[in-house]
Structure formats: C-alpha cells, structure tokens
C-alpha cells in the first residue's frame, strides 16, 4: 500500500510538471523590421482636384505618422501671408489654410521629408500634393541648378522664387507667385506653373519672409526674364489615384537586414543656372558690440569707417585707462581697458560715434550709448592654480620654410618682453655646442597682441629658442612659464614645385592653388596664356581654381542686384593634383570651360605629370 502511494505521488508530480511546461507563456519571435515609408490611402480633396474652395487638406495614411521640422520643411506654392497650420491627427496629416485661396490658382504643397511613420521613423521622401481653385491644374515646370558663386558648392536651405511681375522691387516687397526648395544636390524643379513670362530668383531666406528684404541674404537672379511654355516645360498632370505600397528590395545576412536601394549620385541638370552670392553692404551701421573679456570691448561695423572714423568715450574714466585698436579693414574696433578699477565693474557705460546711413541714404555720424556687461565666473571649489600668461608661436612645429617670419601671438596685449631672460642659440650638428646669436623682438604696429622675432637665420642651421619664466607677460601682470624650442628651416629641395600652363586665358584671371581643405595657399594673376609657377609646396593633395577677374581688380567680386551685375565666374581644374617631396609637377589647363568642380577621386590624380628632381 505504501509503495502504491509513493508511485501515485510521483506520477501526479510528473503530470503537473508537464502541464505547467505546456502552459508557459513566451514572447513571440519578431518578424523583419518595417522599412517602408507611410503610404497615402485617401486625400480630401483628391490629389489633382479642380475647383477646390475648402479651408483644409486632409491626407490619410496606412499607419500613424509624425512630422519632423515641419515649420522649416513644409512649403506652399504660391505662398500665403498667413502660414497654414500643419499638424497630425491619428493617421492623418492636416493642412488648415489661414486665409482664402486665390481664384483659378494651382497650389502645390511640398512636404520634402517631413512626413515619417510614428514607430520606425521611415521617411516619405519628397511628397507633394496638388490641387486647383479653378477649372484647370497648371502643368508646366521650371528647372535649374543653384550654386554658391564663390566656390560652386551646393547651398543649404535655399529656395527658388518665381514672379509674374517684371519690376525688381517685387522680389523685395512681395511674396512670389511660385516657390520651391533646392535639393541637396543644388537642383530645383517648380511644378504646376502657368504659361507665361517670369522673373527667376534664388534666396537663402534668413528671416523666413519668402522675399529678398535683407541685402545681406544670399541671393541669385537671372538678368533676363524666362518664358514658360508647353513646348519645353510640360509635365504630366497629376493622376487622381491612390499610390500603391511598394516593397523595398532587401537582402539578409547573418546579423542584420539592409536596404539595397541604390543611391542616385547623378545631379540632374536643369535649364536655368543660378549663382548665389552675398552682396557687399552699402549702408553704414553698427553690427555688434560685445565684451568677451572683462578688460576687452569689441565693436563691429557693417563697412569700413573710412575717413569718418570711430570715436569712443567712457564717462567718469581717465583717457589713459583704455586704448583703441582698429583692424586693417577698419570695420572692427577693439578697446583694451587698462585700469583695474574700470574693468572690475560688471557694467560699463560707453558712448560711441560711428558712421551711419539713414533711411534717406545720407551718411552721417550717429551717437549711441551702449552698456557693456561682463559677469565674472564664480570661482571653482578647491585649490585654484595661479593664472599664467600663455602665447603661441609658429616655431613649435620645429620646421619653418626658408624666409618665413617667426611670430608670437597672444589673446591679450603683450607687455614689453624681458630680453635679458630670452636667448637664441645656433646649435651644432652634434648638439654638444651652441653659440648665442643676436636677435630682436619687434611689436606689430597695429596689433598689441603680436610680436616678431628678427634674426640672421640660415636655412641649413639648427637653432634653440629659450625663454626663462616671466620673460613674456601681458599688460595685466600675468607672466609666462619657461619654454625651450628647437627649430630649423626645411631645405628647399625638400619641397615640391608645380607649374601650370594656362590656355585660353581671354580675360584677366586669378589662378589659385588650394590645399585639401580648399583654402588658398598661393595665387597668381594672368592676362594672357602663360605659365604660373608655385614653388616651395609641401607634399599633399592640391586643387586649382580660376577666378575670371572681369573688372581687373585682382580679387573675386560678388554680385549686385541693384546694378544687374552678376558675381564674377569661377572654375576648377577637374582633378586633384598630388605632390610629393622633391617633385616638379607640370599641368596643362584650358580654363575656357567654366563651372567645373574637382572630382574627389584618387585615381584622377595621375593626370598631373610629376618628375623627381
């Protein structure tokens, strides 16, 4: 009996275990990640609708959606003075108009990439919606490309404006008849345009006004009106159908799923090229006033002060308690406060007189009272290190070009260096002996934060610069630590040389050599075909740029909408040029072809002919 009881107990335990295992709940295995963008199921009105007089547009999707940066990305063409309200509700995107629609007008709603699904953030790219308040949906288009005039790069956040009115003043004072956005490659396409003659502009809109109301906004214009007609600008009308959901091709590997949709790297070429430029300021005014340091005041002007100059007065302070420095362009004024009782004040009242152009275009002096504030940071807890005067010098890299100036710079004005604590030595090759040589320290005539070292230095010698502690300092009684820097000059044969044979030079031209960061390292001017030599170049990758100097002033000149002057054109040699130590490279360049950007591919570098000296 006892054995049967034990056996029965074991059988019941096993049965209960099996029942519990069968009833165990586990999370279902997930399927592939959703990578498809939202799909439009229905719209009110229909896409491409005619005679629409409503106050709202409702777009219904197959899933919940969200809007990203819709204030910045959404655009209505033609624009309205009162911006529409764009928001989501459940699976709908709703656009509420804040003013009545124009009669017989085709409207285009550009969403760019603002619409995405709520869960995965999949983006609906370049979504547009079209309807007409009249019986016809306009079906013509205008295409083109926008470039930064100075470097042919693609501008950011730039729009294109189309006006029926021919007067130049309309782009300054009124909203455009059509508007569109430049894509990431500089291409634009304005759709659903009515046949006619228009003025075409591009604008980087700083104040979101949709017009060129600020002269310092980047701007582009076509000199002549453009004609939009059915022969060359027709686009198919919008079909009143709901788009079908498309499957994105994918491939799976052992660890992840990735899209195989190829990226379009070709920039479409539109009919109208627009060169974006920033106009030279023509009005005098004060652009900024700051106090970045307790003993420094900085004022900037829109234009050089010219003969009128700049005057400053600090009430209740002595004239020797500060001094003024002006940059070479005469548009930035730095004031250094030298009296501690003055610069220790949190707020300083300053009275300035500066050139100002009034609303009638008359240049005169304007007086302003400006309070300059500086809040001294709270000291950190614990022990604080005694502040030390720091400065920089271009000899810290130990290698200088022959003839290169040795410069010392500081964020604050230098005090007179103590030359008894500063020594310059010529070091022998064995580094066992060093001979002291004479030198001089010369202060920059226009910048109290800069000194030059003058000495008879030989390209084939080694040197040691030694400055004991407190040898350098600033006017605020901070002193430097000791430093010792060994340096020498690179030999001329350790550099490269590039000779460029320029062809088809039909106007004054400036040939610039750019480094890998596209910063000019050298330039030369030509008026006819000839050779340009760039000596003493470090090894690296370079690019060539030409400025077609139409006015012959020796620099690139920007555009002027008031006079109808386009910015001076530029062009690039289409390949990179690689230079190595000791090379003498020769390159032919036909500069007649404009608007070429460098191809950033290493295999293109072989086009330059290099020989080792």
CATH number at residue 94: 2.60.40.1220
Residue 514: per-residue pLDDT: 96
Q: How far is CA 192 from CA 129, 196, 301, 329, in A?
A: 11, 12, 44, 48
Is the pLDDT assigned to residue 491 strictly greater than 90? no
Q: Based on the domain organization, do 221 and 155 belong to the same domain?
A: yes
Which domain-ending residue is among 490, 508, 541? 490
What percent helix, strand, coil does the chain show, rounded to 5? 10, 40, 50
In a domain, 556, yes or no: yes
Is the pLDDT assigned to residue 468 strictly greater than 60? yes
Q: Based on the domain organization, do 472 and 485 belong to the same domain?
A: yes
Q: Are 108 and 96 in contact (CB under 8 A)?
A: no
Q: Quick one: three-class SS letters along 534-580?
A: EEEECCEEEEEEEEECCCCCCCCCCCECCCCECCCCEEECCECEEEC
What is the percent of the chain with per-residue pLDDT over 70, rounded to a whole number? 85
Q: Based on the domain organization, do 484 and 507 belong to the same domain?
A: no
Chain center to CA of 326: 27
Confidence of residue 534 (pLDDT cuts 50, 70, 90): very high
Q: Based on the domain organization, do 127 and 144 belong to the same domain?
A: no
Q: Based on the domain organization, do 515 and 600 belong to the same domain?
A: yes
Cα separation, 154 vs 447, in Å, equals 37
Q: Based on the domain organization, do 349 and 422 belong to the same domain?
A: no
Q: Are 468 and 494 in contact (CB under 8 A)?
A: no
Cα separation, 171 vs 159, in Å, equals 13
CATH number at residue 435: 2.60.40.3710
In a domain, 398, yes or no: yes
For the residues 130-155, what does the mean pLDDT come to?
94
CATH number at residue 345: 2.60.40
Is the pLDDT assigned to residue 261 strictly greater than 60? no
In a domain, 7, yes or no: no
Q: Based on the domain organization, do 568 and 476 belong to the same domain?
A: no
For the residues 125-154, what does the mean pLDDT come to?
94
Containing structural domain, residue 425: 392-490
Is the pLDDT assigned to residue 340 strictly greater than 80? yes
Is the pLDDT assigned to residue 42 strictly greater than 70? yes
Cα separation, 258 vs 550, in Å, equals 52
Is the pLDDT assigned to residue 435 strictly greater than 60? yes
Residue 12: per-residue pLDDT: 53
Residue 30: per-residue pLDDT: 54
What is the percent of the chain with per-residue pLDDT over 90, rounded to a whole number? 69
Confidence of residue 235 (pLDDT cuts 50, 70, 90): low
In a domain, 187, yes or no: yes
3-class DSSP state of 483: strand
**Closest listed residue to residue 410, CA positions, set 468, 330, 456, 476:** 476
In a domain, 382, yes or no: no
3-class DSSP state of 295: coil
CB count, 10 Å around CB of 386?
Answer: 6
Q: Based on the domain organization, do 505 and 594 belong to the same domain?
A: yes
CB count, 10 Å around CB of 198?
Answer: 23
Read off the tokens for 204.
């980087």
Residue 253: per-residue pLDDT: 31
H-only helix segments in 23-47:
none
Cα separation, 531 vs 501, in Å, equals 4
Q: Based on the domain organization, do 485 and 440 belong to the same domain?
A: yes
Q: Based on the domain organization, do 409 and 365 belong to the same domain?
A: no
Residue 521: per-residue pLDDT: 95
For the residues 382-409, what does the mean pLDDT come to?
85
Could you say which DSSP state residue 414 is in?
B
- Structural domain count, the chain: 5
pTM of the model: 0.78
Torsion of CA 511, 517, 522, 526, to 10 degrees: 0
Average predicted confidence (pLDDT) for the chain: 86
CATH number at residue 552: 2.60.40.10
Q: Are 434 and 426 in contact (CB under 8 A)?
A: yes
For the residues 186-207, what does the mean pLDDT come to?
94
Which domain-ending residue is among 424, 459, 490? 490
In a domain, 546, yes or no: yes
In a domain, 603, yes or no: yes
Q: Based on the domain organization, do 486 and 500 belong to the same domain?
A: no
In a domain, 271, yes or no: no
Which domain-ending residue is among 319, 344, 373? 373
Q: Based on the domain organization, do 507 and 587 belong to the same domain?
A: yes
Cα separation, 137 vs 238, in Å, equals 9
Cα separation, 551 vs 569, in Å, equals 12
**Closest listed residue to residue 88, CA positions, set 111, 120, 54:** 111
């Amino acid at each position: 009996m006892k054995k049967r009881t034990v056996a029965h107990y074991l059988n019941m335990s096993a049965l209960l275990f099996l029942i519990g295992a069968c009833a165990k709940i586990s999370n279902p295995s997930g399927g592939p990640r959703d990578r498809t963008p939202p799909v439009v199921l229905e719209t009110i009105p229909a896409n491409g609708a005619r005679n629409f007089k409503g106050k709202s547009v409702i777009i219904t999707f197959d899933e919940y959606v969200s809007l990203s940066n819709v204030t910045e990305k959404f655009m209505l063409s033609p624009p309205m003075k009162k911006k529409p309200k764009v928001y989501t509700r459940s699976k709908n995107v709703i656009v509420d108009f804040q003013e009545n629609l124009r009669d017989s007008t085709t409207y285009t709603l550009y969403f760019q990439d603002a619409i995405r699904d709520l869960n995965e953030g999949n983006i609906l790219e370049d979504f547009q919606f079209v309807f007409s308040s009249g019986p016809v949906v306009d079906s013509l288009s205008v295409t083109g490309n926008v470039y930064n005039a100075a470097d042919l790069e693609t501008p950011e956040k730039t729009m294109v404006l189309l006006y029926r009115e021919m007067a130049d003043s309309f782009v300054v004072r009124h909203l455009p008849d059509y508007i569109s956005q430049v894509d990431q490659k500089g291409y634009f396409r304005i759709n659903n345009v009515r046949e006619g003659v228009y003025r075409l502009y591009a604008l980087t809109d700083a104040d979101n006004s949709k017009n060129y109301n600020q002269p310092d906004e980047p701007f582009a214009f076509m000199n002549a009106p453009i004609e939009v007609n059915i022969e060359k600008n027709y686009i198919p009308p919008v079909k009143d159908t709901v788009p079908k959901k498309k499957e994105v091709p994918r491939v799976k590997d052992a660890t992840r799923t990735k899209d195989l949709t190829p990226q379009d790297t070709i920039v479409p070429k539109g009919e109208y090229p627009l060169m974006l430029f920033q106009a030279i300021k023509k009005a005098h005014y004060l652009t900024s006033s700051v106090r970045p340091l307790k003993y420094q005041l900085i004022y900037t002007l829109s234009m050089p002060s010219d003969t009128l100059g700049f005057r400053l007065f600090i009430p209740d302070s002595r004239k020797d308690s500060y001094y003024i420095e002006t940059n070479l362009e005469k548009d930035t004024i730095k004031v250094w406060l030298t009296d501690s009782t003055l610069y220790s004040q949190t707020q300083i009242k300053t009275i300035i007189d500066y050139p100002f152009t009034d609303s009638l275009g008359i240049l005169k002096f304007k007086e302003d009272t400006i309070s300059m504030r500086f809040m001294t940071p709270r000291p950190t807890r614990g022990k604080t290190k005694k502040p030390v005067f720091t400065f920089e010098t271009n000899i810290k890299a130990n290698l200088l070009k022959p003839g290169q100036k040795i410069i010392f710079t500081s964020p604050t004005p230098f005090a007179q260096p103590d030359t008894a604590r500063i020594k310059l030595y010529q070091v022998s090759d064995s580094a066992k002996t060093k001979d002291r040589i004479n030198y001089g320290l010369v202060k920059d005539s226009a910048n109290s934060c800069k000194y030059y070292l003058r000495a008879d230095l030989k390209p084939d010698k080694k040197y040691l610069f030694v400055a004991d502690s407190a040898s350098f300092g600033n006017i605020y009684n901070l002193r430097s630590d000791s430093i010792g820097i060994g340096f020498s000059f690179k030999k001329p044969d350790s550099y490269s040389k590039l000779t460029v044979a320029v062809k088809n030079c039909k106007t004054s031209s400036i040939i610039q050599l750019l480094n890998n960061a596209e910063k000019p390292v050298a330039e030369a001017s030509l008026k006819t075909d000839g050779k340009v030599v760039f000596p003493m170049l470090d090894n690296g990758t370079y690019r060539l740029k030409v400025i077609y100097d139409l006015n012959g002033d020796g620099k690139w000149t920007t555009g002027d909408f008031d006079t109808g002057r386009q910015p001076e054109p530029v062009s690039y040699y289409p390949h990179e040029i690689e230079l190595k130590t000791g090379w003498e490279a020769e390159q032919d360049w036909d500069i007649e072809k404009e608007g070429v950007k460098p191809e950033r591919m290493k295999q293109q570098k072989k086009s330059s002919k290099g020989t080792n000296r």
